Structure formats: C-alpha cells, structure tokens
Amino acid sequence: MAEELVRMEHISKFYGRVQALRDITVGVRYQEIVGLLGDNGAGKSTLIKILSGVVQATSGEIFLHGRKADIRTTADAIASGIETIYQDSALVPQLSITRNLFLGREPIKGFRLFNRMDHALMDQAARALLLKVGVTKDIPPATAISALSGGERQAVAIARALYFDSELIILDEPTNNLGVAETRSVLNFVRNARDSGHSCILIAHNIHHVFQVVDRIVVLRHGTVVADDIDPRKTSIEEVERIITGPDAAEP
C-alpha cells in the first residue's frame, strides 16, 4: 500500500500562454491535513482544481493509493473520493439542506423508472449529519441554503463530504467572510474529518487559521513548490510568511 493517499507528479498547467503551474510534485498522506499556502496568483486554486476535475493539467500525472488516476471531470473526482468545498459555490441556494446533501446521488425508492427520491431516508440522514458536524437540530433539514449563515453553509458542505466518505476533502478558502466563532467551527469540522479518517487540503488566506489545524504546510510561489514539509509546530509564522513572499532581491 502506498504511503500517500494522493500524489501529483510533474504537474504543469498553462492558461493559454500564462503558465500557472510549473512541474509541481506534491502528495497528501492518509489522515493528514495539508495546508496549501502562497500569495495571490501563486497557483493554489489551479492546483486543487486539477485534483477536483474542474480544469485539466497540461502535463503531469495524478496517483490515488499509488495507482494512476484519470480525473477529467468533477464527476470523476467525486467518484474517486475527492470532495471540494469552495466558499459558497458548492451549494444550490434555492434547494433545501437535504436536497443539497444528496444532489447528484439521490437515493431512489421503489420502482426505478419512477425515479422517486427516498425522502424519509434523506431527511433522517440529513438530521444525523447536521448533529454530527455540530449544527443544532433547530435547523430543519428542509431549510433552504439561502437562509443559512456562511458557517452553516460550510458545515453542510463538510457534512456532505463526510457522508459520502470522501477520502480527500479539499477546502479552498473556507473561512473567508466568516466570523470568529464560525471560523472556529469550520476548523473544528476539518479536525473532526481528519480524526475520523479523512485527509484534507486546506487553503486559507489567514495563516493563523492554517497553523491551528494543519499537520504539514506546502508553499507555492509563482507556480512552483518552494517548501513541502513545513511542520507548523516547529516553524514560526514569520518564517512561513518569508517563504511565501520569497526573497526580495537575489537568492534562488
């Protein structure tokens, strides 16, 4: 068995003439939270979009459990156990919590041709999930997403990843626009996810948030990996900030 859940090797990505990623090689181990840091435009979103099937790498390979994986669409990624949680965009605001949780994987009850969703099962699972990720049962699962706060939306998105037992949960800036208490909840969800056996990639603007939860930090700069094994317990925030911005003048 491979020691890493996911490994990306020699990944490059061009958007037309713009090179967003240059020969990136990076991995995520089992039950590990990796913090992906880098300045604006460093290529973080592009890298995780390749993993989640939103865009395709120009060259390079992806391995899951040590086996080569072919991720061409978001559906491929989800089928391979990779869930991506973007701020807000992952949910349909007009639909209920329950309908969002099961979107694309609705359980069918009875005669298949009738295509009827198993509402009872869905509602029951939704209730249990909301409790599991720490949302009070005061929120009926029939509530529309548009009536939830930002933190609650993240909670629903994470609940979905947990329910479908995604092996890798990717969070791109999940704490943007959240209050203090809600940020803490989201970071807690991430920790819970790791403790129950999932691996995570966390991208966050706020370095302090990343430092609170991750096991390892990877830093991108101008589309290349400049550090891939920073231990947040042994490194200062200032030092990581220096790695992110890079040397001002010379130096490699």
Partner 1 sequence: MLKLVKAEAGSPPPVRRPSRLLRLLSRPEVGPLILLVLELSAFGTIRPLYLSPFNISNVLDFTVELGLIALPTTLLMIAGEFDLSVGSVFGFSAVLMWTLFNSGATSLGLAFVITLAVAGGIGLINGWFVTQVRVSSFLVTLGTLLVVRGAALYLTQGFPQRTWSAAGSRLAAVLAGEIHIGRFHVYMSLFWFIVAAIVLHYVLAETKAGNWIQAAGGNPGSALARGVNVGRTKMVLFVLTAMLAAASGITSSIRTSAANPNSGTGYELEVIAMVVIGGTALTGGRGTIIGTVLGIFILRSMHSGLVMIGVPGLAYEIFVGAIILAMVALQAWLDRRQQAEG
Ligand X SMILES: Nc1ncnc2c1ncn2[C@@H]1O[C@H](COP(=O)(O)OP(=O)(O)O)[C@@H](O)[C@H]1O
Q: How far is the CB of 76 from ligand X (least distance, A)?
A: 20
* Per CB under 6 A, 17 contacts ligand X: no
Which of 7, 13, 44, 99 is in the footprint of partner 1 by CB under 8 A?
99
Q: Which residues contact 97 (CB under 8 A, 6 or more apart)?
A: 126, 130, 139, 141, 142, 143, 144, 145, 148, 156
Q: Site size for ligand X, by CB under 6 A?
A: 11
Q: Say which DSSP state 48 is in.
A: H
Taking residues 213 to 252 in sequence order and writing x for each that binds Mg ion by CB under 5 A, - otherwise, the string is ----------------------------------------
Residue 148, CA distances (Å) to 119, 126, 162, 186, 247 in order: 21, 15, 19, 14, 43
What amino acid is encoded at 91 in this protein? L
**Angle made by CA atoms 30, 73, 8, in degrees to the nearest 5:** 40
* Per CB under 6 A, 8 contacts ligand X: no
For partner 1, the binding residues in 181-210 under the rule CB under 8 A are: 181-182, 184-185, 188
Q: How far is the CB of 45 from Mg ion (least distance, A)?
A: 3
Buried b / exposed e over 132-143, threshold 16 CB at 10 Å, is: bbebeeebebeb
What amino acid is encoded at 179 in this protein? G
- Give the Cα separation of 128 and 135 in Å (integer): 10
Which of 32, 45, 174, 213 is in the footprint of Mg ion by CB under 5 A?
45
- Give the Cα separation of 11 and 60 in Å (integer): 4
- Of 175 and 219, nearer to partner 1 (C-beta) is 175
Q: How far is the CB of 43 from ligand X (least distance, A)?
A: 4
- Of 50 and 91, nearer to partner 1 (C-beta) is 91
Which of 35, 43, 53, 232 is in the footprint of ligand X by CB under 6 A?
43
* Per CB under 6 A, 52 contacts ligand X: no
User: Rule CB under 5 A: which residues touch Mg ion?
Assistant: 45
Q: Which residues bind ligand X (CB under 6 A)?
A: 15, 18, 20, 38, 40-46
